[in-house]
């Protein structure tokens, strides 16, 4: 089975993206495609698979995101910007309402973060603090800056769904070994957390900046996770570390976004939607074959790298 795709990334969160508006495949087949294309040892690689899907009466277009293990996520905010860019180009739009798996989001073109960087603003939420909806069975209705005994850690976490479930802990310095240990424990889908969760350690960097490191459900330790950056921004405001309505810069290993959380639970992210190349690939069995590259986007790829280097200084 051959697929045309675009290799893209939002803040270093990279994906193959397929225009699936006219493609009819069942969920099991899309999961198979995601595993083959996202394989880091294969010819494409990525944190998962993005699909641009058809709209309906309430949505201009839709988005689906399959993780590298084939599981489907509620959303991916870094990936949403890339899908939004594709949807805008396909439909001649500059703003849209996008259908997600369990919710929707608003997206719009935004002034460039830096010269040559395609930038899109997305508004997601409201966040959900009721952990019974995950479900997370800890005996508490909400977890805000509190220890979760079931995790086996003394760290304090804030539980936020946007709509992906996130456990956010503010730390003096990120300990990746500890983060992987806690993330892997959640990834094992214990009885108290059957649908798993993303786990993030967050460093405060000055009055209006955060650094987020995430063990992402279905992916593992990742350089970037958009919904984790949104959840971390809201958690910082909810716990008084940042002020609601204040724009923050949120860094990760892959880049950065501008973020702002409102008291009503809505979170705005503004970040890049960068294309690396377009191509096609044949999947045989569970393996993606050689990629035939049809177009490269070297100028915008270089613009993003330059922007990250400048903003990190």
Active site residues: 76, 225
- Whether the upstream peptide bond of residue 262 has omega within 30° of 0, thus cis, is no
Residues 6+ apart with CB under 8 A from 252: 11, 12, 211, 212, 213, 214, 223, 224, 225, 229
- How far is residue 73's CA from residue 102's CA, in Å, rounded to a whole number? 9
- How far is residue 8's CA from residue 11's CA, in Å, rounded to a whole number? 10
Tokens 């959380």 sit on residue:
261
- Chain centre distance of CA 50: 11
- How far is residue 46's CA from residue 35's CA, in Å, rounded to a whole number? 10
């Amino acid at each position: 089975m051959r697929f045309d795709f675009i290799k893209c990334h939002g803040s270093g969160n990279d994906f193959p993206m397929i225009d699936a508006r006219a493609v009819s495949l069942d969920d099991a087949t899309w999961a198979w495609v995601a595993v083959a294309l996202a394989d880091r040892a294969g010819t494409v690689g990525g944190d998962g698979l993005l699909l641009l899907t058809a709209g309906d009466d309430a949505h201009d277009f839709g988005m689906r995101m399959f993780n590298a293990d084939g599981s489907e996520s509620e959303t991916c905010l870094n990936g949403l910007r890339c899908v939004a860019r594709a949807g805008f180009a396909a439909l001649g739009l500059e703003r849209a309402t996008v259908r997600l798996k369990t919710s929707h989001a608003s997206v719009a073109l935004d002034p460039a973060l830096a010269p040559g960087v395609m930038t899109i603003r997305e508004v997601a939420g409201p966040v959900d603090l009721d952990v019974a909806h995950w479900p997370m069975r800890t005996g508490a209705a909400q977890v805000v800056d509190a220890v979760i005994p079931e995790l086996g850690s003394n760290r304090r976490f804030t539980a936020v769904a946007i709509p992906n479930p996130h456990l956010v802990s503010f730390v003096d310095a990120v300990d990746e070994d500890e983060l992987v240990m806690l993330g892997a424990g959640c990834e094992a889908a214990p009885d108290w957390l059957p649908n798993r969760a993303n786990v993030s350690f967050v460093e405060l960097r000055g009055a209006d900046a955060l650094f987020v490191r995430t063990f992402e459900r279905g992916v593992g330790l990742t350089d970037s996770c958009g919904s984790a950056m949104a959840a971390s921004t809201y958690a910082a405001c909810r716990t008084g570390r940042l002020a609601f309505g204040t724009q923050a810069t949120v860094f990760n290993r892959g880049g950065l976004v501008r973020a702002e959380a409102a008291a009503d639970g809505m979170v705005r992210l503004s970040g890049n939607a960068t294309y690396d190349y377009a191509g096609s690939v044949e999947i045989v069995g569970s393996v993606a074959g050689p990629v035939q590259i049809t177009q490269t986007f070297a100028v915008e790829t270089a613009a993003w790298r330059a922007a990250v280097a400048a903003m990190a200084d």
